[in-house]
């Protein structure tokens, strides 16, 4: 099994998005000042979607997935593509099961001013609604990545912008490309602190890992609003309960009535807690991955 494809998989409200792969170092075409702006659309499903050009000929809608590494395309997008040539397959594991995923080597992808060559593309079944696939922060390599929800843009910087002085700095833990930040859940007067994966591919608020949910007794302490069947990128299904967390704390910011999900009765399936786009979009965010720093500034939303 491809080692980096054994990455954590979590849910969007419509699908669970899994992505992994190699961290490639490739030349980049940049603007003259070393900085670039990439417009994005924040969809009704909280997906951050950008326009991309594949192999100089095909335009795709790709979702930024901050818990991803390689580029993946859906089976439907692959069927429509005339430039993708598959060169092999590998075992890919998610919480829902194990499948073979085809991959294609030697592709070119351009997003905004950035052009990557020799890109590996993996095939999977699902992505965010109305998108052709997804890509991760690795695409931007060593650049500082600003996600500006106020102006629907991804700004790329070679050094920290001055505005960072108005942001709160949080430390992140980089676990082989998985970026985790500390957050706390306030339940019945008690504070439960945990590490949360920063996951823009999950459209909800937070998703709690099994051990944390069991230790905090979440199922009996928060108001349950729904139970849904969700699918991972490869079509495997699992059920998740959804409820309302009274307070979630990120840095000095306290968010009330946060949507929270957990896999009741599936102990071991969810090994990592997640912060999804419902939370992320309430901040403007700057990733300085090289220094393990995350900067957040609450928005007036």
Over residues 223-230, mean pLDDT: 81
Q: Provide the percentage of residues in the chain whose pLDDT is more than 90.
A: 62
Structure confidence at residue 229 (pLDDT): 72
Domain ranges of the chain: 3-161, 165-298
Closest listed residue to residue 198, CA positions, set 175, 217, 169, 166: 175
Closest listed residue to residue 181, CA positions, set 300, 260, 66, 299: 66
Closest listed residue to residue 21, CA positions, set 92, 97, 86: 92
Structure confidence at residue 156 (pLDDT): 97
Structure confidence at residue 241 (pLDDT): 86
Is 30 a residue whose pLDDT tops 60?
A: no
Q: What is the pLDDT of residues 76-110, one digit of tens each?
A: 999 999 999 988 777 666 545 566 789 999 999 99
The C-alpha atoms of residue 272 and residue 251 are separated, in whole angstroms, by: 19
Q: What is the CATH number of domain 165-298?
A: 2.40.70.10
Buried b or exposed e, range 69-91, using 16+ CB within 10 angstroms? bbbbbbeebbeebeebeeeeebe
Q: What's the mean per-residue pLDDT of the chain?
A: 85
Same fold, 3-161 and 165-298: yes
Q: What is the pLDDT of residues 52-62, one digit of tens each?
A: 999 999 999 99
Residue 214 burial (CB count, 10 A): 14
Is 234 a residue whose pLDDT tops 90?
A: no
In this prediction, residue 263 has a pLDDT band, given cuts at 50, 70 and 90, of confident
Fold of 3-161: Cathepsin D, subunit A; domain 1 (2.40.70)
Query: Among 20-24, 28-32, 191-195, which is the least confidently predicted range?
Result: 20-24
277: left (phi over 0), alpha (psi -120 to 50) or beta: alpha
Q: What is the largest CA-CA distance in the chain?
A: 57
Is 75 a residue whose pLDDT tops 50?
A: yes
């Amino acid at each position: 099994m491809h080692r980096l494809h054994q990455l954590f998989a979590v849910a969007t409200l419509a699908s669970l998005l899994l992505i992994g792969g190699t961290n490639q170092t490739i030349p980049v075409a940049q603007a003259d000042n070393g900085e670039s702006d990439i417009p994005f659309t924040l969809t009704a499903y909280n997906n951050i979607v950008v326009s991309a050009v594949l192999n100089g000929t095909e335009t795709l809608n790709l979702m930024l997935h901050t818990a991803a590494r390689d580029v993946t395309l859906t089976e439907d997008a692959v069927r429509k593509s005339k430039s993708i040539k598959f060169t092999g397959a590998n075992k890919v594991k998610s919480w829902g099961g194990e499948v073979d995923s085809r991959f294609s080597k030697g592709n070119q992808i351009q997003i905004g001013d950035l052009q990557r060559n020799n890109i590996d593309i993996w095939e999977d079944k699902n992505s965010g609604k109305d998108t052709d696939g997804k890509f991760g922060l690795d695409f931007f390599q060593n650049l500082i990545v600003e996600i500006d929800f106020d102006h629907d843009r991804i700004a790329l910087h070679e050094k920290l912008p001055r505005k960072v002085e108005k942001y709160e700095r949080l430390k992140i833990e980089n676990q082989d490309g998985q970026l985790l930040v500390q957050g706390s859940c306030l339940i019945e007067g008690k504070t439960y602190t945990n590490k949360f994966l920063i996951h823009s591919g999950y459209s909800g608020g937070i998703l709690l890992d099994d051990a944390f949910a069991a230790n905090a007794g979440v199922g009996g302490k928060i108001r349950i609003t729904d139970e849904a069947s969700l699918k991972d990128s490869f079509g495997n299904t699992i059920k998740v309960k959804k409820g309302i967390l009274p307070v979630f704390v990120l840095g000095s910011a306290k968010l009330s009535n946060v949507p929270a999900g957990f896999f009741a009765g599936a102990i071991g399936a969810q090994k990592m807690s997640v912060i999804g786009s419902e939370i992320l979009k309430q901040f403007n965010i700057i990733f300085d991955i090289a220094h393990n720093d995350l900067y957040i500034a609450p928005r007036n939303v």
